[in-house]
Structure 1
């Protein structure tokens, strides 16, 4: 049995395919443009995901950041789950959003990640998350 078979059934396939085919990610139209252990870059068009003021719904922005966080933290051999997240909304957005997640610290049990959401060059939100290792 190889190491990927020891993981939960959902993690037998490569993480990019797993997250790209995820129901919720597909519902929001989130696409992975780059991923590796501790790093992910994903994008989402805000069309159809706006609040009554015509700007990207905070839940959609959060979901984009959380999706990037999940990919970055689960790309390696271990399986992680979020235990704490925080988001700061900086500016409204209407167009194509890009979320870049990077691991900024780790130890034997947890990883800390920062996700920055951009619309072009403009920062839209900053998301910080802590992931707890549930398997290796």
Structure 2
């Protein structure tokens, strides 16, 4: 086959388990100690401990909280048959955190081209942050 023929060939489908494994093994997720506890198309639950991720005030750094929420968003939007990429995100920090964080991402709307996701970050029962993201479908 020529290089052109290789580029036009459709990639083999990836199972949800393979996709979860790809995210679980990603360098950035491992660097921050993130662990996927549940995921499927449109949903993800990811945990991370705050140890080593605190600011000078002794609470979780906003960047660490954002990274956790963004990771859950990426997983929820990519566990289906299509590949998506973020086009817009924003976060509201509601309370400081020091312990184990859990991010729960859920698709709240989809039009076939874009999906809208809400990610809530918890420390125990307390809501720490709310993250909203829009993912654009880049492949079928």
TM-score tier after normalising by the smaller chain length: over 0.9
Find out whether 1:88 has 2:92 as its counterpart. yes
**Structure with max Cα Rg:** 2
Give CA-to-partner distance per residue, 1:29-68, whole Å, 9 cap, x none: 0000000000000000000000000000000000000000
Q: Is the 8 A contact 1:4 1:77 kept in 2?
A: no
- TM-score, with structure 1 as normaliser: 0.92
Work out the CA distance in 2 between the residues paired with 1:75 and 1:16.
7
Cα deviation, 1:81-103, whole Å, max 9, x if unaligned, reads 00000000000000000000000
* Deviating 4+ runs (over 3 angstroms): none
> Any conservation in 2 of the 1:114–1:127 contact (CA below 8 Å)?
yes
**Structure 2 unaligned blocks of 5 or more:** 1-9
Task: Tell me the distance in 1 between the aligned counterparts of 2:125 and 2:96.
Answer: 13
Matched positions, count: 131
CA shift in 2, pair 1:12/1:101, >3 Å: closer
Deviations 1:72-131 (A, max 9, x none): 000000000000000000000000000000000001210000000000000000000000
- 1:111 is paired with a residue whose SS is strand
Which residue of 2 is the match for residue 105 of structure 1?
Answer: 109
- Aligned pairs (5 A) from 1:37-116: 37-116=41-120
Structure 1: give runs of 5+ residues left out of the alignment: none
Task: Name the structure 2 match of 1:118.
Answer: 122
- Give me the TM-score of the superposition, normalised by structure 2: 0.89
Aligned Cα root-mean-square deviation (Å): 1.7
What residue is the counterpart of 2:36 in the other structure?
32
Matched residue of 2:77: which SS?
A: helix
* Counterparts of 2:16 and 2:37, CA distance in 1: 21
